[in-house]
Amino acid sequence: MSKTEVILISNVVGLGAESDHVKVAAGYARNYLFPQGLAVPLTAANKRRLEALRQRRAEREAHELNTMTELARSLQKVVLVLTAKTGDDGKMFGAITPGAIADEMKHQLDVAIDKKKIHLEHPLRTLGEHEVEFRLHQDVTVKLKVRVESSTPVAPQAEAPATEAREGARGRFAAREGRPRPVAKESGKERPAAVARAEPRKERKPRAEKKEKAG
């Protein structure tokens, strides 16, 4: 495969930055770098452009450093909240990956971060707070607080109905054991409720009338 030398006039990830001389496949240069305006052939005329390209590169890198430094200061003040499904024992289903964190950064903070800049030794698999390292720039790193919460609804507790059932059973047991019955009030006097209900039967006088006739 034939090679050709080119001068990069834009930053190309994995290849180089402005003013760099690099060797690439002739077809790659011809079909991609040149049409996209990312590089020019290495010629005497193009070499005279190197100083301007170096100046452009220095300005771009300084701007990127300032931007990432400001972003790092902002990230130190926030907590990114993510949710995950959990089982009854509180254990997570699945894990939080750099890609998921990058998506939430865009959704919650409107900040676009390449997931490759989010460094995790292993995916997050537990609820709670974690510190995640962001390698924003070769000279700028920051740790962001990430809190993982459960998105699984909490099941309603059935303790209250069970308690009421136990209290009702105790009341029925107490009645069978002959414990004091509730008291009914009548005419300012307190009498047992059972007596108050039976009292009207004493108003009958049929037997007394029969005795008067017999006399």
Which tens digit of pLDDT belongs to each residue from 173-194? 555 555 555 554 554 555 544 4
Comparing 165 with 14, the larger pLDDT belongs to 14
pLDDT of residue 198: 44
CA 213 to CA 20: how far, in whole Å?
Answer: 141
Phi and psi at residue 87, in whole multiples of 5°?
-90, -175
- pTM of the entire predicted model: 0.57
Which CATH code for domain 73-150? 3.10.430.100
CA 53 to CA 17: how far, in whole Å?
Answer: 9
Name residue, tokens 């460094």: 119
Least confident range from 77-81, 93-97, 189-193: namely: 189-193
Q: Which fold has domain 3-48?
A: Ribosomal Protein L9; domain 1 (3.40.5)
| Whole-number percent of the chain with pLDDT over 90 | 51
Domain map of the chain by residue range?
Answer: 3-48, 73-150, 156-198
Comparing 122 with 171, the larger pLDDT belongs to 122
CA 140 to CA 103: how far, in whole Å?
Answer: 21
Phi and psi at residue 31, in whole multiples of 5°?
-95, -20
Name residue, tokens 């077809």: 27
